[in-house]
């Protein structure tokens, strides 16, 4: 489990395609603090660490299946791609965002970005099947970041991203048309499921 509070911005430093696709990712964490088999949320997708090292930089490696590549933005990663990282939640850690599983539900798109004070107002478009789970003042996870929804209009919704978040995540380099990983709020999923049984 994760909270959607980004702790590092990693960089893809190597890609190797065999049966699955291996990504080596540079990070600030000492590899000695990362267990083999540990879960790290990479741009909103929970990945398992298969190797780690300290050559020219601290790094860890993950393997991604063809299914995950096709259902997320990971298939578009290139050497040099920057990605939001979050280590898994430990008992007693502060819950700064909301409960995030790291299982992306689909891919959305940035429709617009406009300045609003010191913040940036983003509008996103998501597949219709995900839009019904997104509500004003609710939570949504975008590229691994826990964000609060401002308004919803059909399958589009708006979010304000403050300057601090832009500076410590990949959101400062976001652009219109960029695909983003979307994870809907777990509570919204269960509420919708219960509503189905009442109908």
Task: Give me the residue spans of the domains in the chain.
Answer: 8-87, 106-198
Q: Residue 87: pLDDT above 60?
A: yes
d(CA 16, CA 22): 5
At 12, give phi and psi (nearest 5°). Answer: -70, 120
pTM: 0.91
The larger pLDDT score, comparing residue 195 to residue 130, is at: 130
* CATH top-level class of 106-198: mainly beta
Query: One fold for both 8-87 and 106-198?
Result: yes
Q: pLDDT value at position 42?
A: 98
* CATH top-level class of 8-87: mainly beta
- 83: which residues sit within 8 A by CB, 6+ positions away? 9, 10, 11, 12, 25, 42, 43, 77, 143, 170
Question: Which tens digits make up the pLDDT trace of 112-129?
Answer: 999 999 999 999 999 999
């Amino acid at each position: 489990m994760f909270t959607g509070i980004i702790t590092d911005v990693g960089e893809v430093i190597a890609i190797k395609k065999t049966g699955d696709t291996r990504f080596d990712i540079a990070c600030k964490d000492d590899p000695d603090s990362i267990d083999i088999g540990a879960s790290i949320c990479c741009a909103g997708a929970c990945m398992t660490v298969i190797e780690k090292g300290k050559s020219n930089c601290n790094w860890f490696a993950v393997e991604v299946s063809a299914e995950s590549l096709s259902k997320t933005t990971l298939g578009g990663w290139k050497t040099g791609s920057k990605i939001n990282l979050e280590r898994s939640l430990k008992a007693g850690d502060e819950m700064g965002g909301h409960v995030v599983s790291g299982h992306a539900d689909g891919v959305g798109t940035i429709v617009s970005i406009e300045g609003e004070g010191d913040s940036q107002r983003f509008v996103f478009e998501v597949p219709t099947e995900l839009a019904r789970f997104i509500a004003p003042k609710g939570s949504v996870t975008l590229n691994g970041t826990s964000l609060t929804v401002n308004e919803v209009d059909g399958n589009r919704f708006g979010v304000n991203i403050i300057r601090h978040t832009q500076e410590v995540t990949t959101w400062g380099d976001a652009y219109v048309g960029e695909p983003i990983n979307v994870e809907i709020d777990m509570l919204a999923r269960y509420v919708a499921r219960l509503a189905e049984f009442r109908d």
